[in-house]
C-alpha cells in the first residue's frame, strides 16, 4: 500500500521529511534562517537617500531584502 519513499519520517530537531536529502536541506535552511534572525538584531541601516537610520528589526529585514535594488543603503553593526 505505502512505498517507503512516500512515508514521512521525523528526523532530528523535529524535522519531518520524506527522505534524508530533504531533511538535510530543511535542517540547513532552518539553521540559516535562525542565524539571519539573530544577525538582523545586531544591524542598523543607514539610508542616505531618505536621510534615515533604521533600527527596527522588521524594517532592517525588509531593507536587507531590498538592498540589491536600492543604492546608498548601508548596513552597520550596532555598538
Q: Per-residue DSSP letters for 3-71?
A: -GGGS-EEEGGGEEESSHHHHHHHHHHHHHHHHHHHHHTTEEEEETTTTEEE--HHHHHHHHHHTTT-S
Chain centroid to CA 15: 17
Q: State pTM to two decimals.
A: 0.52
pLDDT at residue 2 above 50? no
Listed in sequence order, the residues at least 6 apart from 53 whose beta carbon sits closer than 8 Å to its beta carbon are: 44, 45, 46, 47
Residue 60: name the closest of 28, 78, 71 by CA.
78
pLDDT digits (tens, 9 = 90+) for 6-61: 566 666 667 777 677 777 787 788 777 777 777 788 889 888 888 999 888 888 88
The full set of domain ranges for the chain reads 1-40, 43-79
Amino acid at each position: 500500500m505505502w512505498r517507503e519513499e512516500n512515508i514521512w519520517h521525523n528526523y532530528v530537531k523535529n524535522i519531518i521529511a520524506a527522505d534524508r536529502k530533504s531533511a538535510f536541506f530543511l535542517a540547513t535552511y532552518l539553521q540559516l534562517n535562525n542565524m539571519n534572525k539573530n544577525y538582523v538584531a545586531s544591524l542598523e541601516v543607514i539610508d542616505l537617500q531618505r536621510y534615515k537610520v533604521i533600527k527596527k528589526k522588521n524594517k532592517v529585514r525588509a531593507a536587507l531584502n531590498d538592498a540589491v535594488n536600492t543604492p546608498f543603503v548601508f548596513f552597520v553593526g550596532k555598538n
